[in-house]
Amino acid sequence: MISRFNSSLIRQRGSVIIVVLWTSVLLTVLVTAMASKVRLSAKTAFHNQEAVAQWASVTAAVNQAQMELMLERMPRPVGETLAETDEGEIRIPAYRFNGQPLELSYPAAENMVVRIYDHAGKINLNRIPRRNMQRIIEKRLGGLDADPREVQDLLAAWIDWTDLNDLVSLNGAEQEYYQSLDQPYSPRNNPELESVDEILHIRGFAELFEGINLDAAFTIYGNNRSVNMNLATREAMRLLPGLDDELIENIIAYRELEDINNRGELAEIVPYENLVELSNWVGNNTSAIYSIFVYPEMDLAETIQGNVPDPDEPDLNPDPVSQAYMEIVEIRSFNSLPRVYRVDPYGYLPDTAPARVEQYGIEF
């Protein structure tokens, strides 16, 4: 009888121990889950605070960049010392808006990079003459090896898109063609495009400009018909007749040292036969339209997944950032607020690398 009582007591004690163990496990799981949730909430709060602070720095830097452009419209102070070349020639301050990282008159936050692109360094789709569009098409199709019929078909599609009627050019494309697509739409039938990306809707042009950063190469704002080589983006220059990658890097290397003031100075960099092709595009005008890019500075060693490129690679861009907050603004004068045309929190930067002198053995 006693042995039965003892065995029953032992079983009860064992059950109690099991219940206690299970309770401990459940409490441990609950405490761990709660701790994890608290930790996640703390991290979220920290990152939100960091994002708010960074956003404040970005917006402040954008405002300071706009102020820099407004200051550029002011009369120069008497006795101001301007940057000079090694030969003592005064450099034109407006040419610094070619995408180089800027030190602003009202400094931005220390970790913020500000780049400003004057749209005089881009190809204006709303002002481009027909013959110049033909030259771009020919270059994209292989230059001298381009199929003349394909060139004319693409040019006819461009003309039909930008003319003021529904009449179909020879081998062109108008309302009937675009309405027959799987996702039909109507052609612009107006020379004023509403966006750079609109060019991709023209028959054949999506394939023609595949892989091109269109916003870096083209603009639809302003009245410039030429491209200023002091301000030109790589993407724009790659579309211009007469220029190859080596000549483009030569131009960028030259303008880092001194301004290109006329065709004679450009002839020191570009061979005569290339300059003949290029001359119809070249101008020295600036514009009132600018793209402002602002983003936190990122070290090359902070690239994704620790995949750090070889810093000795000759064509390496030391700035790994490819997307940034972007505004397109018009600055009319120093005493009126900028006019904002476009805002893109994830705008694609043009190629920001300095001249790739080592890759092409460039010396000045």
Amino acid at 62: V
Helix/strand/coil percentages in the chain, nearest 5: 45, 15, 40
- What pLDDT does 50 receive? 73
Instruction: Please give the pLDDT value at position 44.
Output: 74
**pLDDT per residue as tens digits for the range 31-59:** 887 877 777 777 777 667 777 778 999 99
Task: State the virtual CA torsion across 248, 251, 257, 262 in degrees, nearest 10.
Answer: -160
The widest CA-to-CA distance across the chain, in whole angstroms, is: 119
What backbone torsions phi and psi does residue 52 show, to the nearest 5 degrees?
-65, -45
- Residue 230, pLDDT > 80, answer yes
Q: With beta carbons less than 8 A apart as the criterion, state whether 228 and 294 touch.
A: no
Q: Which of 14-18, 38-42, 268-272 ranks highest by mean pLDDT? A: 268-272
Q: How many residues does the chain have?
A: 364
SS3 65: helix
| Residue ranges with strand state E in 51-160 | 98-101, 112-118, 123-124
Q: At what angle do helices 148-162 and 130-140 cross, to 10 degrees?
A: 140
For residue 47, the model assigns a pLDDT of 65
What is the structure's pLDDT at 81? 83
Amino acid at 40: L
What is the C-alpha to C-alpha distance for residues 109 and 279, in angstroms, rounded to an integer?
Answer: 41
Query: What is residue 330's three-state secondary structure?
Result: strand
Q: How far apart are CA 135 and CA 197, in angstroms?
A: 20
Q: What percent of the chain has pLDDT over 70?
A: 91
For residue 354, pLDDT beyond 70: yes
Q: Please tell me the least confidently modeled range out of 16-30, 148-162, 191-205, 293-307.
A: 293-307
- Determine the pLDDT at residue 147: 96
pLDDT at 52: 79
Laid out side by side, the sheet with 112-118 consists of: 98-101, 112-118, 289-296, 323-330, 339-348
Global confidence as pTM = 0.85
Instruction: Give the CATH fold of the 130-191 domain.
Output: Ribonucleotide Reductase Protein R1; domain 1 (1.10.40)
Range among 104-108, 285-289, 304-308 rated most confident: 285-289
Q: How far apart (Å, rounded) are the C-alpha atoms in residues 170 and 176?
A: 14
For residues 41 and 250, give the distance between their C-alpha atoms in angstroms, rounded to a whole number. 53
- Output the six-digit token pair for 293: 């890019």
User: CB–CB of 186/89 below 8 Å?
Assistant: no
Question: What value does the mean pLDDT of the chain take?
Answer: 89
**CB-CB contact of 321 with 337 (8 Å):** no
Determine the pLDDT at residue 14. Answer: 63
Q: What is the pLDDT of residue 267?
A: 93
Residue 6, pLDDT above cutoff 60:
no
